[in-house]
C-alpha cells in the first residue's frame, strides 16, 4: 500500500503469529515533556517485549503512515517543535499530513486506523478522547468515538481522560455499540484515579475473559472496538480532590485564553501537571505502563 509503512519487525511478527501491541504517538509528542516522553516510549516498548509481544508505535512521516518507528523518528516525535513541528493527527488530518510529507503523531483515532490497515487487534493508550465538558453548546466531541465504533481493535486505557464529560462519553459509546469492559472493576476509571462513580455493565478479571469477548464480538460480524477500562494501580492513583480542582482551574483558564480544538487537551494537561507539582505526570506514566502490561497479556490470550 502506497501510504502504509509497516516496519520489518512488525510485519514479521504479524506474518508469524507473534502478538503485536500498537501504541499511539500523541502521548509522546503532545502528552509529556522531553525527555520523560522518550523514556516513556522506550519503557513501554520494553514492557511489551518482556511479555513476549512486539510493540508498534504509530506515527506519520515522509508521506507514510508508519506502524513501528525507528530511533530517528522517535527522537523527532519526542522533540516536537525543536526542529520540526509534529502535527496532532486524527482521521481528519491523516490525508493532509501524508500529502504534505509532514510529521504527525497519531491520536487514538489515527492509531486505530493504522491498526485496522495493518491487522493489529490490541492497542494500548493512556485514556481515550470523548465528549468535552459543555459539548451541549460547543458540540466538541473527539473523533476517537467515531473510530471506536468502526475499528475492530481492543483498546486498553485507564478509562476516559478525566478532563472530559465522562457520563456523556459513556452514553455516546453505548449508542455506538462499543462495549466498555471494566478490567477487574465494575466502575469506569477516571484516568488519574480508580473510580468515577459511573457503573459499567461489563467486567473481565483476566486477559482470557477479554479475549473471549473480542472473539465473540468480531466472529458475529459486530464491527467496532472493545474498550478495556483498566484502573491505575491503587497505590499510584492521584488524590482526587487535588486533581479535580486542578482540572477545573485549567478548563476555566483555557476558556479565558480562547484555547480551542486540538490545543485544548495538551493545554489542560500541561496546566494540571504544573498545578499538581507533576504528580499528574507521574500518574500518567504509571497508568500507561500498567495498560501496556495488561494489553500485552490480552494480545497473547487472543492469539492463543
- 15-55: pLDDT as tens digits: 999 999 999 999 999 888 899 999 999 999 999 999 999 99
- 189-245: pLDDT as tens digits: 998 889 999 999 999 999 999 999 999 999 999 999 999 999 999 988 877 778 778
Name the fold adopted by 125-304.
Indigoidine synthase fold (3.40.1790)
Examine residue 74 and say whether the peptide bond preceding it is cis (omega within 30 degrees of 0).
Answer: no
Neighbours of 201 (CB within 10 A): 11
Domain definitions of the chain by residue range: 1-120, 125-304
255 flagged as catalytic = no
Of 160-174, 176-190, 208-222, 255-269, the least confident: 255-269
161 flagged as catalytic = yes
Asked if pLDDT for residue 297 goes beyond 90, the answer is yes
DSSP 187: B
The pLDDT score that the predictor gives to residue 277 is 66
The pLDDT score that the predictor gives to residue 138 is 78
The pLDDT score that the predictor gives to residue 201 is 93
The pLDDT score that the predictor gives to residue 17 is 96
Which among 249, 301, 256, 262 has a CA at the least distance from the CA of 87? Answer: 262
Q: Over the chain, what is the mean pLDDT?
A: 92
Of 12-26, 162-176, 261-275, 288-302, the least confident: 261-275
Whether residue 209 contacts residue 231, with contact meaning beta carbons closer than 8 Å, is answered with: no
Which residue out of 161, 217, 289, 300 is catalytically annotated? 161
- Domain 1-120 matches domain 125-304 at the CATH topology level: yes
CATH 3.40.1790.10 fits domain 1-120 = yes
- 246-258: pLDDT as tens digits: 888 887 888 888 8
- 53-105: pLDDT as tens digits: 999 999 999 999 999 999 999 999 999 988 889 999 999 999 999 999 999 99
Question: Using CA atoms, how far apart are residues 111 and 94, in angstroms rounded to an integer?
Answer: 10
Amino acid at each position: 500500500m502506497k501510504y502504509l509503512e509497516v516496519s520489518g519487525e512488525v510485519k514479521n511478527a504479524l506474518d508469524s503469529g507473534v502478538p503485536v501491541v500498537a501504541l499511539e504517538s500523541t502521548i509522546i509528542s503532545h502528552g509529556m515533556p522531553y525527555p520523560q516522553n522518550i523514556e516513556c516510549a522506550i519503557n513501554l516498548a520494553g514492557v511489551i517485549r518482556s511479555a513476549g509481544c512486539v510493540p508498534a508505535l504509530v506515527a506519520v512521516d515522509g508521506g507514510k503512515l508508519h506502524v513501528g518507528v525507528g530511533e530517528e523518528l522517535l527522537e523527532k516525535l519526542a522533540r516536537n517543535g525543536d526542529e520540526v513541528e509534529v502535527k496532532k493527527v486524527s482521521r481528519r488530518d491523516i490525508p493532509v499530513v501524508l500529502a504534505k510529507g509532514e510529521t504527525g503523531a497519531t491520536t487514538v483515532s489515527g492509531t486505530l486506523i493504522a491498526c485496522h490497515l495493518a491487522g493489529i487487534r490490541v492497542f494500548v493508550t493512556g485514556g481515550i478522547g470523548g465528549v468535552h465538558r459543555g459539548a451541549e453548546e460547543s458540540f466538541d466531541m473527539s473523533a476517537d468515538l467515531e473510530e471506536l465504533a468502526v475499528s475492530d481493535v481492543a483498546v486498553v486505557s485507564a478509562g476516559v481522560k478525566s478532563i472530559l464529560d465522562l457520563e456523556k462519553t459513556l452514553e455516546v459509546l453505548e449508542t455506538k455499540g462499543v462495549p466498555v469492559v471494566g478490567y477487574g472493576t465494575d466502575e469506569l476509571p477516571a484516568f488519574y484515579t480508580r473510580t468515577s462513580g459511573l457503573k459499567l455493565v461489563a467486567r473481565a478479571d483476566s486477559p482470557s475473559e477479554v479475549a473471549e469477548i473480542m472473539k465473540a464480538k468480531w466472529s458475529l460480524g459486530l464491527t467496532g472496538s472493545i474498550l478495556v477500562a483498566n484502573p491505575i494501580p491503587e497505590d499510584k492513583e492521584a488524590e482526587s480532590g487535588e486533581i479535580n480542582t486542578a482540572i477545573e482551574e485549567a478548563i476555566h483558564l483555557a476558556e479565558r485564553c480562547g484555547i480551542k480544538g486540538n490545543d485544548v487537551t495538551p493545554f489542560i494537561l500541561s496546566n494540571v501537571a504544573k498545578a499538581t507539582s507533576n504528580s499528574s505526570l507521574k500518574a500518567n506514566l504509571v497508568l500507561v505502563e500498567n495498560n501496556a502490561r495488561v494489553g500485552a497479556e490480552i494480545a497473547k490470550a487472543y492469539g492463543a
